[in-house]
Chain A
């Protein structure tokens, strides 16, 4: 089945194209927009973006595989990134990550069997003075303690209606 944006996102796409002198430059923002709707970059999304940006699917494929934030498979409804880089590690990021793994029963890189949460590690999130840090969907959580992580995870595991 081919991919299409919702009318609202379609308008956003038009606005994105208007920012650049050529269509290719819209490739990455457009991929973000599609991923926001679809959850991941499927081959249908790649066809769509290639068509709209007037480039080959091979080009779009090359872009998608270069950047770590494009999901090449379906992911959980929520995504958690735990920063593991030096400043956060000095603040105890290792324990935070191990705790997330234990609580969710998965390893970093995996998704819970119910499809709710994907757990990942991140490289420096530019919040080093507030470490340890994790990003949940679009929100940063800083100065993390194990208790706080528990509260955040409880919220994710319980408060999800869909």
Chain B
């Protein structure tokens, strides 16, 4: 159900929303004050009750992740905020950093207190110059106001936040690649175990969370964990609260919208997004960043089993299922970053697939052979499909290549590259075959509307 709220986006649109003055007027740092008066375990329990699932793509429960942190006898603990925002189609974290950086700083204070850290690093992709400027500005203001430093809010719990920048590599959004990059190394993912909670940044216990995950924690402390979770129609599935939804592609009103979980793809595209561009029809939608398999509007939910997560939507269009971590997984795709990319019938699916595969080939770090070779191989075959020189055997080979990359790499990039491939093969087999049989006569020959 469509329920728009203004929690994370409360200050958006207020003049100078990035300043401490406006932040305070909107209730900023009141939750941090609470957190500093509570024992760490109480914060973790509240976030667990909130059913806050990670907003960076994988949807892991944040409270559970925090509870993996154990005090180390000699080493400090770190909080690392993932602000690399590189997943194609995703542009939500940037709005928080640019429009309400103090919310993120406050979230860092809350999370750091919960996991026993006195320092946080926000890893921002280098291109986001305005975001970095606003974050540094907010950090300086917070230090001057005694919110950061040796004795924030008189708590005695020293806390500081630093901004660190990458240098242009999608893979650095993967949390262990990010840690290597933050340490001054090539951004190559690390083999797990050890997990970051055991040995992360500089070998110390570390929690890595997405910007929006951290920025949601002030709202959780404000409303209470249970009340936050109950904002969501999927509270019973342990997927709580409200979140940012992005929308791009062939719709009338692309943008970032905040709504309670329970929002469906139909709500997002036709209500918030104002529907398809004039004269176009919905061809497919990628629900949460380009790694998520595409859905087609003709698909219906097949879940006759009463125990299935999807049973309440049995027989309905996939567009009418709430966008949640578990609901989308059951549909064979992912909620990912909940930033949807909408394709209309003006766009050629083969060209869309080519664009996606070029991205993953370009961004593979090259460490694991299946990923390095597989992404290149898949791209070359898709190029041939587009050029009209591929055979049906080669089209079939794509299943095998994608399946062999899955699960055979150090990090989840391999899945991220293979899943959209498999999705397009399943959902657009007919169109791709047509492309091969007609010597590359694409359906529309274009991507733009």
Partners in one complex: yes
Q: B94, B129, B162, B356: which contacts A19 (Cβ < 8 A)?
A: B162
Decide: A25 and B183 in contact? CB cutoff 8 A. yes
A residues engaging B (CB < 8 A)? Answer: 19-22, 24-29, 31-32, 53, 55, 59, 62-63, 66-70, 81, 84-87, 89-92, 94-95, 122-131, 135, 138-140
Decide: A129 and B86 in contact? CB cutoff 8 A. no
Q: How far is the CA of A87 from the CA of B86 in the complex (A)?
A: 13
Q: Chain A residues near B94 (CB, 8 Å)?
A: 126-127
Q: Any chain A CB within 8 A of the CB of B63?
A: no
Residue of A whose beta carbon sits closest to that of B448 = A92
Q: B88, B165, B166, B447: which contacts A94 (Cβ < 8 A)?
A: B447
B139 to chain A, nearest CB (A): 11
Decide: A69 and B167 in contact? CB cutoff 8 A. yes
With contacts A85-B88, A127-B94 known, is A138 near B129, CB below 8 A?
A: yes
Decide: B129 and A87 in contact? CB cutoff 8 A. no
Residues of B in contact, count (CB < 8 Å): 58
Decide: A90 and B165 in contact? CB cutoff 8 A. no
Query: Can you list the 4 inter-chain pairs with the closest CB atoms, starting with the nearest?
Result: A67-B167, A27-B184, A69-B168, A68-B168
Q: Which listed segment binds A: B2-10, B11-19, B24-32, B247-255? A: B247-255
Decide: A67 and B166 in contact? CB cutoff 8 A. yes
Decide: A32 and B183 in contact? CB cutoff 8 A. no
Q: How far is the CA of A70 from the CA of B352 in the complex (A)?
A: 29
Decide: A128 and B89 in contact? CB cutoff 8 A. yes
Q: Chain A residues near B162 (CB, 8 Å)?
A: 19-20
A130 to chain B, nearest CB (A): 7
Q: A22, A86, A135: which contacts B352 (Cβ < 8 A)?
A: A86
With contacts A85-B355, A123-B86 known, is A28 near B362, CB below 8 A?
A: no
Residue of B whose beta carbon sits closest to that of A66 = B186
Q: How far is the CA of A63 from the CA of B342 in the complex (A)?
A: 36
Q: Chain A residues near B236 (CB, 8 Å)?
A: none
Residue of A whose beta carbon sits closest to that of B94 = A126
With contacts A86-B355, A128-B89, A128-B90 known, is A123 near B363, CB below 8 A?
A: yes
Q: Any chain A CB within 8 A of the CB of B99?
A: no
Per-residue 0/1 for B328-346: is the Cβ within 8 Å of any A Cβ (1 yes, 0 no)?
0000000000010111000
Residue of A whose beta carbon sits closest to that of B169 = A67
Q: Any chain A CB within 8 A of the CB of B202?
A: yes
Q: Any chain A CB within 8 A of the CB of B91?
A: yes
Decide: B290 and A86 in contact? CB cutoff 8 A. yes
Given contacts A87-B249, A90-B343, 17 further A-B contacts (CB under 8 A): A19-B162, A19-B164, A21-B202, A28-B166, A53-B184, A63-B185, A67-B167, A67-B168, A68-B168, A69-B167, A86-B88, A123-B88, A124-B90, A128-B246, A129-B91, A129-B254, A131-B254
